[in-house]
Structure 1
């Protein structure tokens, strides 16, 4: 019989807490079970495998990010929406760097993970539509936004910005360049 209060959602929450505290190297069923206060085999009543747990984590994180970033852009358009999108995206990554890795690298064939990723990408589509883009231009713009912000975050988190200038200033420059490009597009 499953432990009272332990559900797939509860196991996912515990795994995300572990991820936040210790990074992906610590993410094992044994460590999640210890955090839950159960033996490792007991987790199989709630998750099928570590890969299934990672899928549940990715869905949770993608939905969390889509809600947060979507709220930041709500009611805005054009450059204001773009700036809100990029700032919220970076803010999420800076605040929760290990979760951010699940956003850009969900690595799953699970349709539920794909659907969650699509919900986040739809926020980006809403932003670029405000620049009057259509069809293939929308796809190119969303890919460009994601590549730019993901690259910036990866460099920032990886210590790639060693020059004396504040990365926040460089980020504002990135926003300006992207806004100008989208406006010209």
Structure 2
């Protein structure tokens, strides 16, 4: 039967891996990673579950794709936040950018903890990108290369841990998470300054 001119097309757009992953990411972020299943993705796309296997290797493969996407989004957010800043201001900016990324993409971020990156070159490279951005954040401090590496790892551990607790309501009331995070940044910066061969002067001292 010939379609009437001007009538909306009922033909589906071709399915591909990017569309499957994007749909999974949307479900994970809006409903939670634990609600993500292949059946749920297939229903959202209006296809039968077996159709997904032409584009992904299965649930674990989908989870891997989300964890890779999460790390890539995170690294880019951190890099953007640090532009034009140095020292303590840079550390604070990337810390807040980390928290905001988790708020914007809770499901995708959760996937970074669900799929191991060890032995996976692409995932390991994504982790190294995050660490490289954190290392660049520390260029305003006069650190040895070894100290910069350890400080970048410490920042990653601290920001990940805080964000993980925050996303799961792990910070008990009545303490304000904003105040706690600000103090965490102060502690981190004080520790980095202690390692620095040229300690930064605080705004109170220089002002």
TM superposition score normalised by structure 1: 0.90
Cα offsets for 1:34-65 (capped at 9, x unmatched)? 11111111111111111111121122221112
Matches within 5 A, 1:91-102: 91-102=100-111
Greater radius of gyration (CA): 2
Indicate whether 1:164 and 2:174 are aligned.
yes
Residue 190 of structure 2 aligns to a residue whose secondary structure is: helix
Render the CA deviation track for 1:1-50: whole Å, top value 9, x for unaligned. Answer: xx733211111000001101221222221111111111111111111111
Unmatched 5+ stretches in structure 2:
1-11, 196-207
Q: What stretches of structure 1 of length at least 5 have no aligned partner?
A: none
1:62 and 1:116 in contact (8 A); partners too = yes
Alignment of 1:44-55 (within 5 A): 44-55=53-64
Compute the RMSD of aligned alpha carbons: 1.8
**Greater displacement, 153-162 / 23-32:** 153-162
**Could you tell me how far 1:130 is from its partner in structure 2?**
2.5
Looking at structure 2, the residues matched to 105 and 121 of structure 1 have their Cα atoms a distance apart, in angstroms, of 19
Q: Say yes or no: does 1:58 pair with 2:67.
A: yes
More helix by share: 1
For each residue in 1:117-167, what CA deviation from the matched residue of structure 2 results, as whole angstroms up to 9, or x when unmatched?
222221111112321222321221112111211222222233332232311
For residues 112 and 40 of structure 2, what CA distance do their matches in structure 1 show? 22
- Give distance in 2, aligned partners of 1:64 and 1:158: 20
TM-score by length of 2: 0.81
Q: 1:104 to 1:78 in 2, by over 3 A?
A: farther
Matched ranges for 1:52-91 at <5 A: 52-91=61-100
- After superposition, the Cα gap between the structure-2 partners of 1:85 and 1:105, relative to the gap in structure 1 and judged at 3 Å, is farther
Query: Which residue number corresponds to residue 44 of structure 2?
Result: 35
Of 122, 125, 129, the match for 2:132: 122
- Which of these residues, 159, 169, 173, is aligned with residue 183 of structure 2? 173
Count matched residues: 183
Distance change in 2, residues 1:30/1:72 (3 Å): same
